[in-house]
């Protein structure tokens, strides 16, 4: 399915792979585990809190998330707003979004130097398979809920620039153009 996992790297907008609707992972195998571990490494190196398979050029419904505990984030929160360690979500499905919409600034490892406000429900439930192949469910709040929704969007080819508020879109217009121009120059 893939080439050498060691060669995986983060791709930037406007890479085609960021716009695919990713395919379900038929089965969690050793290869899935190798890919997920490599993605966690790439996420850590880039100092990100989440990374989705299309961001490393893979057509797979899989993402990794690590929202470390911080001033306003804890695994003790109910629902949790952080994770104790990196987590892997295979074939995730989101459900039961809270009715509210919160606007908060987001960035993306595939959109360097671009940050803007995105409105999302503050709580969400995610059901997915883990690397052991077993299904689990997690209700999340705060930054963790936001991160899971951001990564899940990647699996449907959706980027934060599609969801920016009008003001954020205007603010980032030059940076987005610059990124698109850099790709064309290659």
Task: Output 35 or 160, the one with its CB closest to Zn ion.
Answer: 160
CB of 30 to Zn ion, least distance (A): 27
Residue tagged active-site, from 31, 45, 72, 151: 151
Distance between CA atoms of residues 11 and 53, nearest Å: 10
In DSSP terms, 73 is beta-bridged to: 70
What x/- string results for residues 98 through 117 when contact with Zn ion is judged by CB under 5 A?
A: ----------x---------
> Is residue 155 near Zn ion by the rule CB under 5 A?
no
Q: What angle do CA 143, 149, 155 make, to 5 degrees?
A: 140
Give CA separation, 104 vs 24, 115, 130, 143, in Å.
29, 10, 28, 9
> Is residue 118 near Zn ion by the rule CB under 5 A?
no
Residue nearest to Zn ion (CB): 108
Task: Output 108 or 114, the one with its CB closest to Zn ion.
Answer: 108
Residue 103 C-alpha from the chain's centroid: 17
Active site residue 151: yes
Residue 2 C-alpha from the chain's centroid: 20
Task: Output 57 or 99, the one with its CB closest to Zn ion.
Answer: 57
CB of 82 to Zn ion, least distance (A): 18
Give the H/E segment covering residue 62: strand 62-65
Catalytic residues: 151
Residues that bind Zn ion (CB under 5 A): 108
């Amino acid at each position: 399915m893939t080439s050498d996992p060691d060669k995986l790297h983060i791709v930037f907008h406007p890479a085609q792979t960021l716009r695919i609707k990713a395919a379900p992972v038929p089965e969690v195998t050793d290869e899935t585990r190798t890919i997920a571990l490599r993605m966690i490494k790439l996420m850590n190196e880039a100092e990100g809190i989440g990374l989705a398979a299309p961001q490393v050029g893979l057509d797979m419904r899989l993402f990794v998330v690590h929202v470390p505990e911080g001033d306003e984030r804890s695994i003790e929160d109910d629902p949790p707003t952080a994770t104790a360690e990196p987590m892997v979500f295979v074939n995730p499905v989101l459900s039961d979004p809270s009715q509210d919409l919160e606007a908060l600034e987001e960035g993306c490892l595939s959109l360097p130097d671009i940050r803007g406000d995105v409105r999302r429900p503050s709580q969400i439930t995610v059901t997915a398979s883990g690397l052991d192949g077993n299904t689990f469910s997690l209700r999340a709040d705060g930054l963790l809920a936001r991160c899971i929704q951001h990564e899940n969007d990647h699996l449907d080819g959706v980027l934060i620039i599609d969801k920016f508020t009008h003001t954020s879109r205007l603010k980032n217009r030059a940076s987005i153009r610059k990124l698109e121009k850099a790709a064309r120059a290659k």
